[in-house]
Each structure stands twice: as C-alpha cells, then as structure tokens.
Amino acid sequence: MIRYTIRRLLWGVLVVLAVTFCVFLLAGPVLSWKNPSITPARLYAGKNPSPQQIQQVSQLLGLDKPYYIQYLYSLRRLVMGPSSDEKARICVGATAAQCSEQIGRLGRSFQKQLSVDSLIKERFPATLSLSLVAAFMWLVISIPIGVLSAIRSRSFFDRTTMVTVLVGQALPVYYFGLLALYFFAYKWPIFPLGGYVPFDASDPWPWFSHLLLPAMVLALSFAALYVRMVRSSMLTNMGEDYVRTARAKGAKEGRVIRRHALRNALLPIVTMFGLDLGLLLGGAILTEYTFGIQGLGTLSVEAANALDIPLMAGIVLFAALVIVIANIIVDLFYAVVDPRIRLS
C-alpha cells in the first residue's frame, strides 16, 4: 500500500510537471508565434504602449530572457516561491505582507495586480462549497434511482426515469439555471437571486440557502449521467456468477444487491466521481456565471476576457493539481470499495 501510494504520488508529480510545460508553452512561445503583436509584456503594458514601455515590462517580469530560462524560473517559483531578485524587481517599496499579495508561486495577475495565489485562495471557497453540495445531491439522487431502475428493468418506473435522464442530459446547465432563477427566485422568491455568502458555523443557513438552487441545477445535469451509469453497471453485475451463487445459497435479495452487486457496480462510479469532482473544483464555469457566484469559474471567465495570461495559467495549473489529487484518492479508495483489489 505504501509503495503504491509513493508510486502514484511520483506519477502525479510527473503529470503536474507536464501540465506546467504545456501551459508555459501555450502562454509563451505559442502565443508569441501565433500573433507577434500579442505577448505577455505587451498585454501587461496596457493600451497602446510604446516599444520602450514594452521593453521595460519585459525586463521587470523577466520576459527578456530565453524561454527555457523563463520556464526554469517559473518552476522554481512554483516549488520554492518567488526569489529575492524577483521580489526586488516587482515589490519595490512594499512590505513582506504586501509583496506576498503582489506576487506568489503562480505569478502575478496582469489585470488585478495581485498574486494569482491570493486570487485563487479568495475564490476557491465558493467553488468548493458549490461542488461539494452539488456532489452530495447528485449521489443521493442518482445511486438509489439507478439501482431501482436496474432492479425493475423495463418497468414503467425504469422507462420514465430513462426519459427524464435523457432530457436532463440534452438540456445545458445554463438553460436550467435561467429557468430556475426566473421561477424559483424571481417569480416565486423561494431562494435568493444569486451570489455567495461565506460559511459561518454560528449561522450556516445563509450560506446553504444561497447555494441550494445553483447546487440543485448543477447536480441535476450530473445526476442524469450517473443514473445511467449506475443502472448499466448494476445490470451487468446482477448477471454475474457470484450474484447467482449468493442467491443459490439462500441470501436475501437485499443483501445480494447491497453486498455483492452494488459494491462492485460502484467501482466505475467512484472513478467517474473523482474526475468530475476534480473538474468542478477547477471551476463550475456555467453555473457560477449564471448565478453570479464569485468562484474559480467566474474568475477564469474574467481572466479570459481580459487576456490575463498569468491568471489563466494559474487557474489551469491549480485545476490540474486538484484533478491529480482526486485521481490518487480514487485509486486508493478502490481497495475500500472492492476487497478483491490489493494495492502493491
């Protein structure tokens, strides 16, 4: 188990390293080769900068050095934090606390003039809250419905569920979101219109009430897919030999479904859940933008509209790190879900 964990962590580090190289390649050399008039220094300098201003910005940000040197510097900053030379160039006259807000491990935002780390740290709680509440909802909805559809295959319940699932998959999230906002927040003010309220342990209801409607909209789109996956996986496992053997030994039907069929049917669901939750933690763009939630999804839209390259690159790297960690946790969780799997 320990050897497997170490091996998976090393592979995860290699994946993150590959992502950093790809992000740097796209945000640096590829961007400059595609359109020489759009470079990071040119974007940082503002509107209609002079060649002298662009050169000064290049020297300030270290963009006048060869690409491989820039990449090595970005890796060093990611692992060890900004260097003293970088702080001296960018944080002129600033205190240590102010400098940490201006430049971090992921660089500095062109538009907001703050470190990408601090911006992600500020927006991540909203995305985390939305993702966890939505994930809990779609699991609670999809697993029981998928199991019942598999047990009562071809029944009226099964056919009705499949039609509803297809409708849920066909319609986009923002369509459901706009309808939900109009009917349940504007026409009938059952829920707040939007936004995010930070969590307060003394009174968590404002936090939960503002998340409830967007989380339901987000959960419905995922629940539609998960119902189909659970149903398909359950139907496959219900026909396996070990299920027939358990029934032949006289085991109760409920025990056969819970202990044998469902436990094995959850393996692909666990894999898919880890990937989906990792992607959501990188920013549920459509849902956050529709409901006005200031999370990572909205932050990525702002960065793309402003062509804020360091901010876009930082969000991509953060999302990649979250996905890698989620995959490692899923792999380790396999041994808990299925006792036949031994990690070595």
Taking only the tens place, the pLDDT of each residue in 72-125 is: 888 888 888 777 777 777 777 677 677 777 787 888 887 787 888 889 989 999
- Tokens representing 57 are 């910005």
Helix (H, G, I), strand (E, B) or coil at 104: strand
For residue 258, what pLDDT is reported? 75
CB of 237 within 8 A of CB of 229? Answer: no
Q: What is the pTM of this model?
A: 0.83
For residue 166, what pLDDT is reported? 77
Q: Give me the domain span that covers residue 42.
A: 2-110
Q: In which region does residue 107 sit, left (phi positive, over 0), alpha (psi from -120 to 50) or beta (all else)? A: left
343: in domain: no
Look at residues 110, 141, 167 and tell me which one is the last residue of a structural domain: 110
Q: Are residues 202 and 299 in the same domain?
A: yes
Q: Are residues 153 and 137 in the same domain?
A: yes
CA distance 214 to 178: 10
Which of 80-94, 130-144, 174-188 shows the lowest mean pLDDT across its residues? 80-94
Instruction: Provide the domain count of the chain.
Output: 2
Q: Are residues 132 and 103 in the same domain?
A: no
List the beta bridge partners of residue 115.
108
Report the largest interatomic distance among the alpha carbons of the chain, rounded to a whole angstrom.
84
Measured CA to CA in angstroms, residue 310 lies from 40, 106, 262, 336 at distances of: 9, 7, 45, 40
73: in domain: yes
User: Which burial class, exposed, middle or buried, applies to 236 when counting CB atoms under 10 A from its CB (0-12, 13-18, 19+)?
Assistant: middle
Average pLDDT for residues 183-195, to the nearest whole number? 84
List the beta bridge partners of residue 107.
104
Q: Which residues contact 129 (CB under 8 A, 6 or more apart)?
A: 196, 199, 207, 211
For residue 270, what pLDDT is reported? 81
**Residue with token string 């968590």:** 204
CB of 86 within 8 A of CB of 285? Answer: no
For residue 50, what pLDDT is reported? 74
Q: Are residues 29 and 67 in the same domain?
A: yes
CATH code for the domain of 274 = 1.10.3720.10
